[in-house]
Structure 1
Amino acid sequence: MRHPLLIIAVAALVGLAGCTTIDPYTREDKISASTTGAAIGAAAGALVGNLTTRRDRTKRAMIGAGIGALAGAAVGNYMDRQEQELRRELDGTGVSVTRVGDNVVLNMPGNVTFDVNRDEVKSQFYDVLNSVAKVAQEFDQTALEVAGHTDSTGSVEYNMDLSERRARSVARYLQSQGVSPVRLDTIGFGPHRPVADNHTPEGRAQNRRVELTFIPLTQ
């Protein structure tokens, strides 16, 4: 069965078929750039809009598993210490560590983590994920959201599926290293959340990535 978010994204793009204009030179139907952008934006919006629900569900599962929530000023201090430890463990690995509010985001480049068009984590990357798992177990009052991303090459459906499979592979490895499954959630964004220009090889390389977000469990 297809992932429901994949269905939403593909449906938004399929909807372009009825939104065409006539090319003044070829006299053929074509999809306008503005319509394409609107549909892609709608698909991305559906994916992003689902995140709050998913995160709330993960947090409820963690509380149900007996993991205590952080409160007040303790949140910032807790994430400061976790960020510092992640930076120390991942220095020189090619994985970037970024603080976004109270969350900490790890950017794992696709060429470092996976072979082309494959969803198995490279064995050379195990040590990096072992370090991530070590910090995750030390700071167990955080949820871990694993998000796969691709460039725009190929079909949307293929990229959505590949991004989800890669996210699941990273999550499974972390679980095998002792991270509780109730803390882990996976999502595939395919090409819908680029961080660089997909028209250049360098930009496409940046867009092929897995992001792991540490989210504090708050009251």
Structure 2
Amino acid sequence: MNDSTDQTQPLVEHLLELRRRLVYAAMGVALCFIAIVPFAQQLYAFVAQPLMSVLPENTSMIATDVVAPFFVPIKVAMMAAFLVTLPNTLYQIWAFVAPALYQNEKRLIAPLILSSVTLFFSGMAFCYFLVFPVMFKFFAGVTPLGVSMATDIDKYLSFILTLFLAFGITFEVPVAVILLNRMGVVPLETLQAARPYVIVISFILAAIFTPPDILSQILLAIPMIVLYELGVLVCRMSGKRENHNENTDT
């Protein structure tokens, strides 16, 4: 009876700690959302600018749902609040799992969080400033005569959120490669030998997550391949550094 009670207490403590960390993360998002809501219309205008800039004169987006003009900017504000508080959310996750990590693993957490957030934001910026202008200009150029390019604002938001997520995750490839190598799951030789498969998989994923035009697919697949090579390069350099340190010690 005492053994079962001792086992139950740590479990309850872990669940309480998990709840506390989730509450901290949710509170961060909620407070940021409250601060951002007054600027929801401006945020949506910023998000819609890549498409609005290529629409014909006297043409605008449309709202096919009565509540869309209110809820779509609110969704943008929620997305912005989540992104702004992403470092805090990742920190809360780290604080929950940190007690179970070794000291050398804990040293990797800070650069891991920093690089993950930076790369995710870089992927979104790449999508917004490079991919969207090229893609929407292409779509506007191939619109048939007599067809008005008037996009529903809710569908537009869902479309760009999918691409933001795809490019954000794509830019996390170096982090995934380095983690798999440092944890001993995938050796450097396997990463180097997997290059042909990575190229094929990159274009398959690009075809799934981007619109059915070759330009958008290339703009997603090429960064994925380059970032994979960057991760392999970092693994090779860190491996050489560790071997050099071992030789020096001996």
Structure showing greater Rg: 2
Confirm or deny a common fold (TM above 0.5): no
Q: Which has the higher contact order (CA 8 A, sep 6+)?
A: 1
Greater share of residues in strand = 1
TM-score w.r.t. the length of structure 2 is: 0.28
Greater share of residues in helix = 2
